[in-house]
Amino acid sequence: MAFSLASKNALVTGAGSGIGQAIALRFARAGAHVMVADVNLPAAESTVAMVHAAGGRASSLRLDVTRDADFTEALARVPEIDVLVANAGIGHVGTLLTTSIPDFERMLAVNVTGVLRTLKAWMPGMIARGRGAVVVMGSTAGLEGLVDRFSYSTSKHAVVGMMRCAALDHATSGVRVNAVCPGRVETPFVRARLAEYPDPEAARRDMSSTQAMRRMGSPEEVAEAALFLASDEASFVTGACLSVDGGWTAGMFPRA
């Protein structure tokens, strides 16, 4: 089945690289006009160039999800959309003891309040028009605890809870709200993290072992899941966490 976003306008935050970029590219191939939003405008413009090179339609937008002023400007430029993907986020490594209060507050500002600002910016218009699809970027770390990712896991648990409450509050509005919850995905952030290890290949094998399929996912695989949730074929799906994690959260499995 080919999922279509033909004639729809989509906005994807954090679309300058990684999963957000893959979602923007996939949505464009599915027929959407994609507003590529990112705090790094040159990165957003690079994604737009990739969309155009593939024959798709896209525009760029600088958006810092921690700044109210950026949303005021963004709404003036993009008042109506059909599909919203709240993907912008950051990572952090650390335990409760090694995570500083400023690091924790930064994580919440981007990953939690940033998602809240994004939903509050465009969901009211969707609700007023009686239609729309919202996809937030969760994580397996938002479904269970994750060692050495105290602030990140906390933030993603909050995002999953936010998604579920928004879905319930507006279930009869014509607007669906869902989450994609990836496992470990080989994004630029993960590759940079791997490069810090004395033995990057050993670290890669260790990270891959947390998935039952014994490999990390790709941004493109997450994008396919986001496309389904954004499409009309998911018309009876709201409040769902679609795990794209190679079996991470399915249950216990040998990790040796």
Predicted local confidence at residue 91, as pLDDT: 92
CA 208 vs CA 156, 195, 201: distances in Å? 20, 15, 10
- Quote the mean pLDDT of the chain: 96
List, in sequence order, every residue forming a beta bridge with 54; answer none if it has no partner: none
Specify whether 152 is catalytic. yes
Tell me what pLDDT residue 169 has. 98
Question: Is pLDDT above 90 for 35?
Answer: yes
C-alpha 23/C-alpha 85 separation (Å) is 9
pLDDT of 1 > 80? The answer is: no
Summarize pLDDT for 177-211 with one digit per residue, the tens: 999 999 999 988 888 888 989 998 988 988 898 88
Does 118 share its domain with 233? yes
Same domain, 114 and 148: yes
Full residue range of the structural domain in which residue 19 is found: 9-182+219-241
Catalytic residue among 71, 104, 152, 248: 152
- Looking at the structure, do residues 51 and 153 belong to the same domain, yes or no? yes
- pLDDT score of 79: 96
Q: What is the predicted pLDDT for the residue at 256?
A: 57
Residues 25 and 46 in one domain: yes
Helix (H) or strand (E) holding 185: none
The reply to whether 152 and 208 lie within a common domain is: no
Query: How many domains does the chain fold into?
Result: 2
- Tens of pLDDT, residue by residue over 115-163, are 999 999 999 999 999 999 999 999 999 999 999 999 999 999 999 999 9
